[in-house]
């Protein structure tokens, strides 16, 4: 047995067996429910360990893992170290894949939110237009309640208050949508890679190995609350991207905190307009013209931020994220129709 443990073929076989096993688990309701309940337990266990660390512990682990992988890849090209490097890589992939699946991957297969709603009608542009008008007016009114910087752009003065409000709003999610255990502590941190993230189009991410939520601290503040609540929706246990957007929406639109509510209403409005623009570009453009002067300043700041940080990295990460989403039972990264689907059926 000890000889087998040091054979590359043996561990390659174990990796293949994992692929098959978790594929079978994903099609058996008992195991999907089991992993969903397990996630509910382990998320708060991991948060209790990592939340007290002032920086993103998961980011440090990613850096160390990247260094390890780089060393092994370099050693593959050295004849004397090739076998050991390949063995180390196979062991690493086995451990990483196993932990990813039990901590996160399997909850992609939980019951979709759309099946929990009373109505399951397909979205239409006509219905989306009605909601867009509604959320435009909401955003205009809420925008008057928030703080501005010297240039008249929305700014959040106290992020700690915002974080506490986001976590507290988890208790307000309708029970028919979520019966998940709310987060025990706040484990939301600025990413150590914020500067690089600004050039990738990535605003935040969830680390399934440490249950930490990371966000790009350089983001325009109009985007920041909805980004953080999106990542805490992942923390809560909603793996699908557009479901996390929907849960983020639920946490924001009924909040008494104007920063969180404005960001949620503004995000909802933009998502509706993106959906509508695919069939009626003129309507979407006319809606943007109806933005209040304050909202137009926020939009201009967002656009300038995006333009100033455009790079080839954004194309690369957009492509890889698209592949990742599609491999996990989701539409591509630029699809907003499922969020609009959930929104329209919930509003109905």
Give the mean pLDDT of 318-344.
57
SS3 336: coil
Based on the domain organization, do 103 and 141 belong to the same domain?
no
| C-beta atoms surrounding 119 within 10 Å | 10
129 and 77 in a single domain? The answer is no
Q: Which residues pair with 213 in a beta bridge?
A: 188, 206
Of the candidates 86, 109, 132, which is a domain's last residue? 109
Instruction: Tell me: do 153 and 91 sit in the same domain.
Output: no
Residues 195, 183 share a domain: yes
Q: Give CA angle at 205 (202, 206), nearest 5°.
A: 170
The number of CA neighbours under 13 Å toward the Cβ of 284 is: 15
Domain extent, residue 163, equals: 113-347
For the chain, the first-to-last Cα distance in angstroms comes to 61
| pLDDT tens per residue across span 242-297 | 999 999 999 999 899 999 999 999 999 999 999 999 889 999 999 999 999 999 99
Residues 244 and 264 in one domain: yes
Choosing from 93, 109, 125, the residue where a domain stops is 109
Q: Is the model's pLDDT at 2 over the cut of 80?
A: no
Answer left, alpha or beta for residue 55, where phi above 0 means left and psi between -120 and 50 means alpha: beta
Are 93 and 139 in the same domain? no
Helix, strand, coil percentages for the chain (3-state, nearest 5): 65, 5, 30
| 322 and 188 fall within a common domain | yes
Instruction: Note whether 95 and 197 are same-domain residues.
Output: no
The two tokens of residue 34 are 């089991």
**232 and 93 share one domain:** no
Task: Look at phi and psi of residue 181 and say left if phi exceeds 0, alpha if psi is from -120 to 50, else beta.
Answer: beta
Query: 121 - beta bridge partners?
Result: none
Q: Which of 122, 126, 134 is nearest to 269 (CA)?
A: 134
**Residue 65 and residue 213 in one domain:** no
Nearest-CA neighbor of 268 among 279, 254, 278, 257? Answer: 254
* Among 60, 92, 109, residue at a domain's last position: 109
194 and 128 in contact (C-beta within 8 Å)? no
Tens digit of each residue's pLDDT (9 = 90 or more) over 45-70 = 999 999 999 999 999 999 999 999 99
CA–CA gap between residue 128 and residue 328 (Å, rounded)? 27
Are 226 and 262 spatial neighbours (Cβ–Cβ below 8 Å)?
no
Give the rounded percent of residues in the chain with a pLDDT score beyond 90.
69
Express each pLDDT in 130-189 by its tens digit: 999 999 999 999 999 999 999 999 999 999 999 999 999 998 899 889 888 888 788 999
Helices and strands (H, E) in the chain, number of each type: 14, 3
Indicate the pTM of the whole model.
Answer: 0.88
- Please give the tally of structural domains in the chain: 2
For residues 195 and 173, give the distance between their C-alpha atoms in angstroms, rounded to a whole number. 33
Q: What is the largest CA-CA distance in the chain?
A: 72
One domain, residues 180 and 310:
yes
Q: Are residues 316 and 202 in the same domain?
A: yes
If phi > 0 it is left, if psi is from -120 to 50 it is alpha, else beta; for residue 214 that is beta
pLDDT in tens, 18-28: 999 999 999 99
Mean pLDDT over 328-346 rounds to 69
């Amino acid at each position: 047995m000890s000889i087998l443990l040091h054979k590359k073929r043996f561990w390659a076989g174990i990796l293949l067996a994992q692929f098959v096993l978790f594929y079978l688990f994903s099609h058996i309701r008992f195991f999907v429910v089991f992993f969903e309940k397990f996630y509910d337990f382990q998320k708060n266990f991991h948060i209790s360990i990592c939340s007290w660390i002032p920086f993103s512990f998961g980011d440090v682990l990613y850096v160390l893992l990247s260094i390890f992988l780089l060393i092994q890849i370099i050693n593959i090209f050295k004849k004397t170290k090739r076998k050991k490097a390949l063995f180390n890589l196979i062991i690493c992939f086995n451990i990483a894949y196993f932990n990813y699946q039990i901590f996160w991957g399997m909850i992609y297969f939980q019951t979709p939110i759309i099946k929990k709603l009373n109505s399951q009608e397909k979205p239409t542009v006509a219905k989306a237009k009605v909601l867009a008008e509604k959320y435009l007016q909401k955003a205009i009114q809420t925008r008057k309640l928030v703080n501005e910087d010297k240039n008249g752009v929305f700014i959040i003065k106290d992020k700690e208050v915002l974080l506490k409000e986001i976590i507290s709003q988890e208790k307000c999610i309708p029970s028919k949508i979520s019966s998940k255990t709310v987060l025990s502590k706040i484990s939301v941190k600025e990413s150590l890679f914020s500067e690089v993230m600004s050039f990738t189009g990535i605003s935040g991410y969830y680390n399934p190995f440490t249950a930490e939520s990371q966000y790009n601290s350089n983001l325009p503040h109009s985007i920041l609350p909805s980004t953080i609540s999106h990542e805490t929706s992942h923390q809560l246990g909603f793996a699908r991207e557009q479901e996390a957007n929907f849960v983020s929406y639920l946490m924001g639109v009924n909040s008494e905190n104007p920063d969180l509510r404005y960001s949620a209403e503004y995000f909802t409005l933009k998502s509706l307009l993106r959906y509508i623009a695919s069939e009626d570009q003129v309507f979407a453009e006319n809606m943007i013209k109806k933005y209040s002067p304050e909202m137009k300043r926020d939009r201009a700041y967002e656009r300038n931020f995006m333009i100033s940080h455009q790079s080839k990295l954004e194309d690369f990460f957009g492509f890889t994220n698209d592949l990742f989403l599609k491999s996990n039972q989701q539409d591509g990264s630029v699809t907003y129709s499922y969020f609009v689907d959930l929104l329209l059926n919930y509003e109905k």
